Structure 1
Amino acid sequence: MFALRLLLISIFVCLLSPSSVSAQVLKAYTEEWPPYNFIRDNKLVGVSTDILKAVCADTELKCDMQLVPWTRAYKTVLETPDTMIYTISRIPLREKQFVWIGPILPRSMWIFARADVAAKIHTLKDIANFRIGAIREEASLSELLEAGVPSSSIQIFNTNTDEMRMLKAGKIDIVANTEIGMQQNQKTFGIPDKAMKRMMKLNDGAALYFGMNINSNKDLVAKLQASVDKMKREGKIDAIVQQYTKAK
């Protein structure tokens, strides 16, 4: 009887342990990066957001998704078990910082230049002669620096909105983005198609993921990865992408 009572107490304690409880509510932090994650009609939407919503429904998890500046999202998830950051590029610099769930989407990062300076850009080195925008802690900033672009040529912003407003105002000449990311930004911020030129690839070796704190519950991580894999097999991720990229 005593042994049975101890067993029941042990089970009860395990059920109340932080890892078990936190596995039931997933806090996910993201930035504004259309069409992957952005606010529309006062709701957080986007390709990656909709994928995560579907994963949460499939795994019967309650997911609390918040849009915050990227630096805050990054710091919070680095410090807090059972939390997620998205949409995040898996690059060598970050490899040991997170547990990776995905890939969820491909990633090709391009250099985009204002049309009035594009004729003067022939190689990646040439962009150092112009005003380049980048977002703090983003992979593209690291890739620009690794490519030899001097930091003195780069203006760093806290959010995508800050960067795009400066681009539209003519305060910067160059940004890095994916093709669908730039297309959506130009549409959102009223930058004409002809105002920007796609120049050259900055990086084509990474992919986009959900990133979890490295001390997150392993069962939770496995459950999320299995759901992402299932969505891929069933074509659900491709269907979500089409909803945001089809011509309207």
Structure 2
Amino acid sequence: MYKVTLFYFCFFTSSMFSPFCYSADISLLADGSFTGEIELIGDNQLGGLGGEIVSKALKAKNITFDLEWRPWARAYKEALDNKNKKTFIIPLTRIVERENLFVWCSKIYDAHTVFISMKGAAKVNTFKEAQNLRIGVIAGSSYLAILKRPENGLLEDNIETVAFDSRNFSKLIGKRIDAWFTLDIVGITTIKNSIDGKILTEKSFQIGKAIAKQEKYIGTTIDTPKELINKVHDAIESFKKTSEYTKIISRIPN
């Protein structure tokens, strides 16, 4: 996990000072810390479930893209600003709080949020069971927006945010939080990649029941020309009809 974190910071630092490549058809913002969902492979290369779908879909239709890696909160802000009028962001969860802020170009896949706790602690299956617990969540995320909804009854003082979701894993095993609220594929992949098989195993963790459905999209804003939005939409929708897409989404946890 430390190697992944170090690589992310090195990659982010180098990309932070490089401007968008205006020769590319679109600029694509992503947070490379979403393990299993969006991952860093190399220069202008996307891995992870969502990253593979989008990059392969765009390449199949000869849509060039320039990748810009950002912590999620910053990626979200820059996507809203859309200064070059061709900025897209992945994977963007469609929730009511964001509905009128973005153009929902195309759905990529569905996943779910879960509470993850350590074995020996209480297993968290509902928001009610999460009340009075210290909850770790990524800043600026749809997960945070869900936790803050009044009907879920969680105290804001009990919600702790971090810039990178991998830090929540560290806080959880260090017992600095009681539960980690994240996407199923992110949490499960992080655990599998980080355990050493001796002190920590998969059985060291408890994954609660699915809490909220997460509809993952590639999104942009109304400042992006409609023709470009349609072009990206058609690329994603065409790829979703392929056997390769079916194989990729089979990795989503049941």
TM-score after normalising by structure 1: 0.81
| CA distance, structure 1, for counterparts of residue 65 and residue 125 of structure 2 | 46
CA shift, 1:192, in A, is 2.4
Query: Distance between the aligned counterparts of 2:79 and 2:135, measured in 1?
Result: 28
Structure 1 pair 159/126, CA: closer, same or farther in 2 (3 Å)?
A: same
The amino acid that maps onto 2:65 is C
Cα distance in 2 for partners of 1:178, 1:134 equals 10
> C-alpha offsets along residues 165-198 of structure 1, whole Å, 9 cap, x if unaligned?
2122221121122332221010222252112212
Q: Deviations over 1:187-230 (max 9, x none)?
A: 222252112212233212x4111111221111111111111111
Name the % identity: 21
Give the superposition deviation at 1:162. 1.8
- Count of equivalent residues: 223
Partner of 1:151: 156
For 2:190, the aligned partner's letter is N
Larger Rg: 1
Taking the aligned partners of 1:161 and 1:40, their CA distance within structure 2 comes to 17
Pairs within 5 Å for 1:28-39: 28-31=28-31, 32-39=33-40
**Letter paired with 1:184:** T
Aligned to 2:230: 222
Which residue, out of 185, 199, 212, partners 1:203? 212
Output the CA distance in 1 between the equivalents of 2:172 and 2:39. Answer: 19
Residue by residue over 1:151-173, the C-alpha shift from the partner in whole angstroms, topping out at 9 and shown as x without a partner, is 11111101112222212222112
Can you give the 5+ residue segments of structure 1 that lack an aligned partner in the other structure?
Answer: 1-20
Counterpart CA distance in 2 for 1:174 and 1:77 is: 30
Residues 198 and 24 (structure 1), Cα distance of their counterparts in 2 relative to 1, 3 Å cut: same
CA distance in 2, matches of 1:157, 1:105: 25
Q: Aligned letter for 1:75?
A: K
Contact 1:118 1:199 in 2 (8 A): no
Write the distance in 2 (CA, Å) between the matches of 1:187 and 1:212: 32
Matches within 5 A, 1:106-185: 106-118=110-122, 121=124, 123-146=126-149, 147-185=152-190
Unaligned runs of 5+ in 2: 1-20
SS at match of 1:104: strand
Equivalents in 2 of 1:229, 1:171: separation in Å?
42
Contact 1:165 1:189 in 2 (8 A): no
Q: Determine helix, strand or coil for the equivalent of 1:117.
A: coil
Q: Partner of 1:155: helix, strand, or coil?
A: strand
One-letter amino acid of the counterpart of residue 137, structure 1: G
* TM-score, normalised with respect to structure 2: 0.80
- CA deviation string 1:118-143 (max 9, x = no partner): 25x57422312221101111001111
Check conservation: 1:130, 1:153, Cα contact below 8 A.
Answer: yes
* Aligned partners of 2:93 and 2:216 also within 8 Å: yes
Deviation at 1:148, TM superposition (A): 1.9
- Letter of the aligned partner of 1:187 in structure 2? K
Q: Which amino acid aligns with 2:26?
A: L
State the match for 2:240 in structure 1: 232
User: Which of 103, 110, 113 is 2:107 aligned to?
Assistant: 103
SS in 1 for 2:79: helix
What is the DSSP-based 3-state SS (H/G/I as helix, E as strand, rest coil) of the residue aligned with 1:233? Answer: coil
